[in-house]
A and B are shown apart, each in its own frame.
Chain A
Amino acid sequence: LFPGVRQAQWLTKTKLVEGLPPAVQGIVDNPALGLQELEERAKHAVSHARLWDTTEVAPRREKYCPALFENLIHICRLMSGKYPSLTKRMLARNCRIAAMWERESILLQVRGLSGILMNSMTPIPPVASKEEILATKEHVLETFYPIAPTIDLQEVNVYKELNDTGQCFRDGYPYSHPHTLFFLESANVRTDRFRPEQLRAKMLMFAFGNALAKAKALHRNDPKVLEQPIVVQSIGTDGQLFQFMVFQLNTTDLVSNDGIKNLVWIDSDQNLYERAQCVPEIKKRVVTKPAGISGFQPDTFKKFLALYLHGTV
C-alpha cells in the first residue's frame, strides 16, 4: 500500500541518500583488494547454490537462498588470510532484538527475530562527515498528512519497556558492536516473501533498532546527539536481488521533528545474476536458454564484499 521506506524514515527520523557511501564505494573501487580473482569464486558460489546443491533437478528457494548466503560469506571470511583483523568477527543467528523509542509522543518499538547478525570487536567508523551531519538539520522529514505515520503498525500494550536489553547478548560479550545484519527472504511462495520496498523498510527498522540498542547500552537513556555516531550495515536478499544499506545513528533525540537527523545510504535492487537455468530450455528443438548462470554481475558481489570488509580495511 505504502512505500515502506518513507514511512520508516519518518519513524526513525532519518534522511535518505541514494547509493552507497563514499567510504564503501572506495573499497569497491580499490584494485589492491584483488576482487577480480574472486569473481570466479563468486560465480562458482552462485552456481553451487542455484544449480548443484541438490539431488533433485533444481533446489528450492528455501534451500538456495541460505546456501548462496553461506557461500558468499565463506568467500568473504576467507579474505581473513589477507586481513587478519577480519577474524575479530562473529556471526550470530536467530538473535532477537527489542528496542523502544518515542517519536512525537508516540511510543514505538521494534521487536523480533532480526535475521543473522554479524558482530565485531571494533565499531565501524562514522561514514558521514560532521558537515553532512549538521546539514541534516535543514532537512525536513516528509510527513504523510492526512495519513498517520503509524499506519500499518501493530498497536500493542507494552507492560515492560524493554530497551537496553535490546542486545541479545549478555554484558562482557567481546564482540559487542553490531556490524551487519543479513536478511534472507527464503520463503518458497512469493506472497510469503517481502517485496523489495518492504524488505528495505524492514532492514532500516532493524538496523535502527540495533544501533539504538547499542547507543542506549553505551549512553544509558539520555536523548542526545551522539559525538561518535553508530554505524550499522544491512544486506537483504531473496537469492537474486540484493539490497545494501548503511545506517548511521547520529542522535537519540527522537521526540522532536527537527534537529540533527540520522542518515541512511541505500543501494537497492542489485541483481547478482540474471537467470539460473538448471535444465536448458528447448523450444521447437532449439536450445533457447542454455543451462547455467547467465548475466552474472560481479559488481554486486564486490559491494557485498566491500560492506563485509568495511571497518577493517
Chain B
Amino acid sequence: MAAVGARLLLRPGRRWFSETAPGAPSPPVSPLYPPVVASITAKSKVAKSRRLQRFNQRVHEAATVEEKLRLYGKLQRPKYTVYPQTFALNADRWYRSFTKTVLVPGMPPRAAAAKPLVAAAGATPEGGRAPEPAAEAPEAPESAAGAAPSLDMSELRSLACDAILQESFYQNKKRPLLYRDQDHTPGPFLTQLVSTLAAFLSGRNPLLAASSLDLNPEVNYYWHHGEEVVVHGHRKGRVDPVRFQIDDNPHLQIRVPKQLPEVVPLESDLGDVPVIDHKPSKLPLFKKQYENKVFIGSKVADPCCYGHTQFHLLPDKLKRERFIRERLEDQIEVVYRSNGIASLFAWTAAQAMYQGFWSEADVTRPFVSQAVVTDGKYFAFFCYQLNTLALTAETIKNNPRKNICWGTDSKPLYDVVEDGNVKGFNDEVLLQLVRFLLNRPKEL
C-alpha cells in the first residue's frame, strides 16, 4: 500500500525522496517518467558517486585541452607537496609507491637503430652500410643520410673539458656566496656543456635541430592516489582522495616536437611497486592548499610539446659531503633516484595531460623522457616510461600497468681540475650523455 502511494506521488520532475537506489527498475514502457537515479545534492555515498560521474563527464566533453586542465584542477583542497630534491630518508621508495613506478637499475637496452659507436671501437653499421675505418676521422655532417660516421670522442672530450675549465679555472669570478656554491660553478658549467653538446650533435639528430631549450623552466603536476579519511575540520569523517602536487624547477630542459619512441611495450611488467602502509605525512610530507598546476615548461600552444631530456642540479643542501658527515652514505643514491623518479613522472604525466589523457582516460601510447641528475661532478642518468595515468582509487583497481624508470648510480665525470688540466676524465659518462642527446624516434 505504502509503496503504491509512494509511486503515485512520484511525479515527473519532482523528487520527494532524497534517497533512491540508482538504476531502480523503471517501468519497462514508460517514456512519461524520467530515469530514477540518485540525487545530486544529497549527503550520501551514491549521490557523491553521481557527482563524480557528472564531473568526469564534464572533463571528457571539454572542448580544448586548456579547458580540460582547468576543470581537472578547479577544486582546491589541501594536498601533499612532493619535492623531487629531498633529504628525506628512503624517499625513492615512497615516491615509487605514490607514482606506481618500477625501478630497474641500469639503462634500458636499446635497439641498434641509430647509435654510432665511439671512434676507437669502430662504427656500427647503419642501414646495412659497411663499417667505416676506425680512424679518428673528424665528424662529417655533410655525409649522405644513412651513413653513421664514428663519433669523434676527442672532439667531445675537448668540448666538455673546455666547459669545465672555463667555469672553474679560466673565468675570473668573485667568491661564491654563502650556500650558493652550485650557482657559482656547476650551474654555468652544466648550461655551457649541454648547449655546446646539443649544438654539436644537432647535425646528427634532426630532432635536436628542431628542439627548444629552456633555462630554469617550471614543471608542475597534480594527481590523486589512494584514499584517506579527513581528520579534522568541517569535512571530518569524509573519504577523500589523497592529492599530490609536484612543483619542480629543472636547471635545463630540452623539449621536442616529436615523441621519443617507447622502450618496452605498454603492458610490460618489469618488477614490483613498493607498498607502504603509512600515511604520506610520515615521509615527512606536508599539506598545503594552493593552485593545482599542470605545466611542462610552456603552454599547450607550443609545438614542442613532448619532452626529451631534463637536467637537474642538486642544491648545496644535498651535497655528498653532508651525507658522509652524517654517516648516511646509502642515502646519496636515494637523492639522485628520488629526484629522477619524481621529476620525470611529473614531466611525462604533464605531457600526457597536454595530449588530452587523464586518470579517467588513460594513455594509449607510452610517454618516454630522460633526465640527468648531477651535482656538478657526479652524474646519474634516468629514463622514464609513463604507461599509466590512472592512479586514483577507483581507476587503479583494475589497472595492471605500471610506470617504469631505468636509472644508474652516480658516477664522476672527472676527478679534479688542477692548473688548467682536467684529471681523470671519464669517457663513459660523456658517452652516456651523448647517447641520451642522440635519442630520437625511429623514423628520423
Q: Which of A116-162 contact B (CB under 8 A)?
A: none
Answer yes or no: B399 CB below 8 A from chain A CBs: no
List of A residues within 8 angstroms of B214 by Cβ: 53, 67
Answer yes or no: A60 CB below 8 A from chain B CBs: no
B158-198 vs A, Cβ < 8 Å mask (1 yes, 0 no): 01001100100111110000000000000010001001101
Is B199's CB under 8 angstroms from A48's CB?
A: no
We find that the number of chain A residues with CB closer than 8 angstroms to chain B is 38
Q: Which of B203-223 contact A (CB under 8 A)?
A: 203-204, 208-210, 212-215, 217-218, 220
Answer yes or no: A170 CB below 8 A from chain B CBs: yes
Is A78's CB under 8 angstroms from B196's CB?
A: no
List of A residues within 8 angstroms of B166 by Cβ: 90, 92, 169, 173, 175
Is A51's CB under 8 angstroms from B139's CB?
A: no
List of B residues within 8 angstroms of A91 by Cβ: 192, 195
Given A77-B195, A169-B172, residue A51 in contact with residue B299 (CB < 8 A): yes
Given A71-B213, A81-B209, A84-B139, residue A90 in contact with residue B220 (CB < 8 A): no
Answer yes or no: B303 CB below 8 A from chain A CBs: yes
Give A82 to B195 CA distance when docked, in angstroms.
16
Interchain nearest-CB distance for B80 vs A (Å):
20
A167-191 vs B, Cβ < 8 Å mask (1 yes, 0 no): 0111011110000000000000000
Chain B: number of interface residues, binned into ranges = 35 or more
B199 CB contact (under 8 Å) in A54, A77, A172: A77
List of A residues within 8 angstroms of B173 by Cβ: 94
A96 CB contact (under 8 Å) in B159, B172, B293: B172
Is A55's CB under 8 angstroms from B218's CB?
A: yes
Give A82 to B139 CA distance when docked, in angstroms.
11
Answer yes or no: A219 CB below 8 A from chain B CBs: no
Tally of contacts, chain A with chain B, CB under 8 A: 95
B290-329 vs A, Cβ < 8 Å mask (1 yes, 0 no): 0001010011011110000000000000000000000000
Answer yes or no: B425 CB below 8 A from chain A CBs: no
Nearest residue (CB) in B for A172 is B420
Answer yes or no: A221 CB below 8 A from chain B CBs: no
List of A residues within 8 angstroms of B208 by Cβ: 78
Is A67's CB under 8 angstroms from B215's CB?
A: yes
Is A87's CB under 8 angstroms from B159's CB?
A: yes
A81 CB contact (under 8 Å) in B141, B188, B303: B141
Answer yes or no: A65 CB below 8 A from chain B CBs: no
Is B203's CB under 8 angstroms from A82's CB?
A: yes
Give A227 to B127 CA distance when docked, in angstroms.
53
Is B220's CB under 8 angstroms from A48's CB?
A: no
Interchain nearest-CB distance for B154 vs A (Å):
13
Q: Which of A33-48 contact B (CB under 8 A)?
A: 41, 44-45, 47-48
List of B residues within 8 angstroms of A174 by Cβ: 162
Give A71 to B196 CA distance when docked, in angstroms.
14
Given A81-B209, A92-B171, A175-B162, residue A55 in contact with residue B192 (CB < 8 A): no
Give A53 to B188 CA distance when docked, in angstroms.
21
Give A93 to B185 CA distance when docked, in angstroms.
12
Interchain nearest-CB distance for A103 vs B (Å):
27
B162 CB contact (under 8 Å) in A66, A86, A90: A90
Give A71 to B210 CA distance when docked, in angstroms.
12
List of B residues within 8 angstroms of A289 by Cβ: none
Interchain nearest-CB distance for A43 vs B (Å):
11
Interchain nearest-CB distance for B399 vs A (Å):
29
Give A95 to B166 CA distance when docked, in angstroms.
12
List of A residues within 8 angstroms of B295 by Cβ: 55
Nearest residue (CB) in A for B195 is A77
Give A41 to B206 CA distance when docked, in angstroms.
14
A80 CB contact (under 8 Å) in B188, B200, B302, B303: B200
Answer yes or no: A74 CB below 8 A from chain B CBs: yes
List of A residues within 8 angstroms of B213 by Cβ: 70-71, 74
Answer yes or no: B202 CB below 8 A from chain A CBs: yes
Interchain nearest-CB distance for A213 vs B (Å):
13
Interchain nearest-CB distance for A229 vs B (Å):
25
Is A86's CB under 8 angstroms from B199's CB?
A: yes
Q: Which of B163, B172, B293 has the most CB of A within 10 A?
A: B172
Known: A53-B214, A82-B203. 7 other contacts (CB 8 A): A52-B299, A67-B215, A80-B200, A84-B138, A87-B199, A91-B195, A173-B166
18 contacts between A and B (CB under 8 A): A41-B210, A44-B303, A48-B298, A52-B301, A55-B220, A70-B213, A71-B213, A74-B213, A78-B209, A81-B209, A91-B192, A92-B166, A96-B172, A169-B172, A170-B169, A174-B162, A175-B162, A175-B166
Interface set of A (CB-CB < 8 Å, partner B): 41, 44-45, 47-48, 51-55, 66-67, 70-71, 74, 77-78, 80-82, 84, 86-87, 90-96, 165, 168-170, 172-175
Closest 10 CB pairs of A and B: A81-B203, A77-B199, A52-B298, A52-B299, A81-B202, A173-B170, A74-B213, A80-B199, A78-B202, A169-B170
